[in-house]
Amino acid sequence: MILDSAKTYGIAELLAIRYPDSQKGPWDTGTYNAIEDFRELFIAS
């Protein structure tokens, strides 16, 4: 998983996306904190 590589290189704040593609099923995010999809990153005004 790409987050494993990021952790190896010292990136401390990692966040996985469980549904990066709305047409496919969820990804296994392992032990990483995760949000369901990208919409959770947007702030409602």
The residue ranking higher by pLDDT, 35 or 39, is 35
The residue segments making up the domain with residue 33 are 2-41
Q: What is the mean pLDDT of the chain?
A: 89
> What pLDDT is attached to residue 45?
60
Check whether 7 has a pLDDT greater than 90.
yes
pLDDT score of 10: 96
CB 37 within 8 A of CB 22: yes
**Confidence grade of residue 42 (pLDDT, cut at 50, 70, 90):** confident
As given in the structure block, the two tokens for residue 19 are 């549904």
| pLDDT exceeds 80 at position 1 | no
Q: What is the pTM of this model?
A: 0.70
Count the domains in the chain.
1
Q: Could you tell me if 40 and 20 are in contact, meaning their C-beta atoms sit under 8 angstroms apart? A: no
Q: Determine the 3-state secondary structure of 17 from DSSP.
A: strand
